[in-house]
Amino acid sequence: MNRRRAPSELHRGLPPEVFARIVERVPMTEAAARYGLTLSRQGTCCCPFHSEKTPSFKVYPGTGGFYCFGCGAGGDVVTFVEKFLNLSPAQAARRLDADFSLGLFDSAAPPDDSWKQSKAERERSEQEKESKDWQLVLELRRLHRIPPPPATDPETYAQAKALEEYLEYVKETR
């Protein structure tokens, strides 16, 4: 089952310090126990990430994370939940926040960033409109055979001004 979402959704409203706080507050040993690993007194068990009969997976207390001497899998508590439950980093962070009642997130729902998207869309359509208008200007220049005016020339400035007025007219009537 693929539970991964589109990248833009993954990191919605998740500052990097959230991950650091989770690592600080959820001891790796507790997370391992919470998600069903049975650790020996030395903190070892059979690796959940590769098939083995002799335990080579070691969980370190506190912020030590985990490491498998068999397959090389390793990381912090967020990485563990990410891999173990097949979640994205942000999803793993939310999962740990919920399961260990950390209260790092205001609500279960991700913050609504749709205004950013609509702003980007608005800007894009404005750019498109500008580009179309510019095409129109070029077209009009061609029709009127007006050379590109130097900005300092008063006569061509007047022509440009007239062209601008004509352009406004065409824009209104198109």
The answer to whether the beta carbons of residues 129 and 122 sit under 8 Å apart is no
| 94/101 Cα distance (integer angstroms) | 10
Restricted to residues 67-86, the positions that interact with Zn ion (CB under 5 A) are 68, 70-71, 73
Shortest separation between residue 55's beta carbon and Zn ion, angstroms: 10
Shortest separation between residue 70's beta carbon and Zn ion, angstroms: 4
Q: Looking at beta carbons only, is 64 or 110 nearer to Zn ion?
A: 64
| 75/23 Cα distance (integer angstroms) | 10
| 162/61 Cα distance (integer angstroms) | 77
Restricted to residues 11-50, the positions that interact with Zn ion (CB under 5 A) are 47, 49-50
Shortest separation between residue 56's beta carbon and Zn ion, angstroms: 6
Tell me the residue length of the chain. Answer: 174
Binding site for Zn ion (CB under 5 A): 47, 49-50, 68, 70-71, 73
